[in-house]
Structure 1
Amino acid sequence: MLVLLPPSEGKATDGDGPPLDLDSLTLPGLRPAREQVMAALAEVCSGPEEEAREVLGLSPTQADALKRNLSLETAPTLRADQLYTGVLYDRLGLGDLPRTDRVLIFSGLWGAVGPADRLPPYRLSMGVKLPPLGGLAAYWRREAKKELEGFTGDHLLVDCRSSAYAAAYKSGAALPVRVLRERVVDGQAKRSVVSHMAKATRGDIARSLLLENVDARTPEELTGALRDLGYTVELDRGRLDVVVRD
């Protein structure tokens, strides 16, 4: 079983490790594709600031991200489990888990990395259309497919990614995790899909699975394991629904 995660919009901005070593990253066969994205990103960020921010979807207050994107090869690095922050990662707490080798973090810049990979701070979302490569989800879906299929093998994939990152790698073994909020309205239980709460819940789910060393082989085994851990979960047409009640 592998857990697939998105990165986070918020990231640490300072590292203290050695410069980037592309050959040391998880999925080293992606090096040529990663170098292409790095070069295209540098080209955009070295141009007019306003145009670069528009391409990358950045506000004027995020202009420092352009400078970080221009120093990827020389900037101090930090582990991915320290780089990525935000609600999901706060709840997941990768840094104090005993085993994280079953985690794969998807990235607009790197394709996919492991929690122990050392990366420089950067800013590049999967939803960006990066000249001349085009949409990054489509780019990585094409360039990383073979490497990812070899890495994931026949494992069940617990897919905690958002839609933009899920589009970068699609697999019949992936079981998307959807979070539903259940409330009683006029005596009837009603459910709705949630967004912000979903990040926290997916972080909780991933932490529980890794902390308890769950290694389910089928969606049914995973559902049973999560129920044993106290979650309300249901299988629904190739998706795992996690029900959170008020």
Structure 2
Amino acid sequence: MRILLSPSETKSVGGSGDPLDLAALSLPALTDTRRSVADSLVAMCGDDPAGARSVLGLSDTLAEEVTLDARLWSSPTAPALSRYTGVLYDALDQASFTRATRSRAESRLWIGSALFGLLAAADPIPHYRLSAGTRLPGLGTLRSVWKPSLTAATADWADELVVDLRSGGYHQLGPVPGAVTVDVVTQYPDGTRKVVSHFSKHHKGLLARSLAISRAEMADVQSLLRVARRAGHTLEYTSATSLTMVTEP
């Protein structure tokens, strides 16, 4: 089973790992694309910091993000799961993992990335700033860069249960055929429902945690539903590749 998460704009800084080595990352078929994107980002941020702030959509107060991007190849690394912060990762609450639950989580969790495509939870990466909607010089849209190689790199996942919790922009970088997606809605006392926006990250983080640390083996949607419901989540079967998570206001 694989659970795909969105990354976050906010990330921890620093780390104790050696500088970025693309050969050390999972899905080695993505190495050439990763290098192209990284080289373009580093060159832009090193050669034209002011222009880079505009391309990356950063205010002057976030100028340090450009500096860190320019140092991408020399910055220390940390496991991807601890690099990303924010609402979803707060809900995932990895600090509370035991050795056993961390091992299960690291074997199941993957994180979408505009810079790296997809990362396994333990992959060592530096701090960086790049979002899915960015157009890097000489590369065009990141969707056009990533989609061919990313979808091809995950082709051998076809026989596994893949739960794709990525947001729209990161899902579009490389859809995984046959993956199960989850929509989050709030149901009100009168029975009406509304699609959850910001807090979708929180609820997806809670769901990801329940699935990632479970001792159960989940090979299909029905086994996933059993684990999620035992953990207290309200999940509805919409189709073979679509579920609805119902939350309270």
Match of 1:244 among 238, 243, 247: 247
Runs of 4+ that moved beyond 3 A: none
Q: Distance in 2 between matches of 1:196 and 1:74?
A: 34
TM-aligned CA deviation for residue 233 of structure 1? 1.0
**Which consecutive residues of structure 1, in runs of 5 or more, have no partner in the other structure?**
none
The TM-score, its normalising length taken from structure 2, stands at 0.91
- Of residues 222-231 and 108-117 in structure 1, the stretch that sits farther from structure 2 once superposed is 222-231
Q: Which one of the candidate residues 99, 107, 112 is aligned to 1:101?
A: 107
| Identity within the alignment, % | 37
2:30 matched to which residue of 1? 30
2:184 paired with 1:171: no
1:217 deviation in Å?
2.4
Give deviations 1:76-128, integer Å, cap 9, x for gaps. Answer: 11111111000101111235233221111110011111111111111011111
Q: What is the Cα deviation at residue 28 of structure 1? A: 1.9
Query: After superposition, where does 1:13-162 map in structure 2 within 5 Å?
Result: 13-95=13-95, 96=97, 97-98=101-102, 99=104, 100-150=106-156, 152-162=157-167
- Is residue 2:9 matched to residue 1:3? no
Letter in 1 for 2:166: R
- Structure 2: where are the runs of 5+ without partners? none
Give the 3-state SS of the residue equivalent to 1:196 in structure 2: coil
**What SS does the corresponding residue of 2:47 show, helix, strand or coil?**
coil
Q: Does structure 1 conserve the Cα–Cα contact (< 8 Å) formed by 2:79 and 2:123?
A: yes
Name the structure 2 match of 1:182.
187
Say whether the 8 Å CA contact 1:68–1:121 is kept in structure 2: yes
User: Is contact 2:211–2:224 with CA below 8 Å preserved after alignment?
Assistant: no
2:206 is paired with a residue whose SS is helix
Q: What is the aligned counterpart of 1:228 among 209, 225, 230?
A: 230
Q: Secondary structure at the match of 1:63?
A: helix
Cα 1:54–1:115 shift into 2, 3 Å: same
Q: Which structure has greater helix proportion?
A: 2
After superposing the two structures, state which structure 1 stretch, 128-137 or 229-238, moved more. 229-238
Deviation of 1:16 after TM superposition, in Å, equals: 2.1
Question: RMSD of aligned C-alpha atoms?
Answer: 1.5
Aligned residue pairs, count: 242
| Cα 1:172–1:143 shift into 2, 3 Å | closer
> Hey, what's the Cα distance between the residues in 1 that align with 2:159 and 2:61?
44
User: Matches of 2:201 and 2:143 in 1, distance apart?
Assistant: 20
Contact 1:138/1:167 (<8 A) preserved: no
Single out whichever of 175-184 and 138-147 deviates more from structure 2: 138-147
Instruction: Encode CA deviations 1:135-157: one digit per residue, 9 max, x unaligned.
Output: 1122111122222223x241111
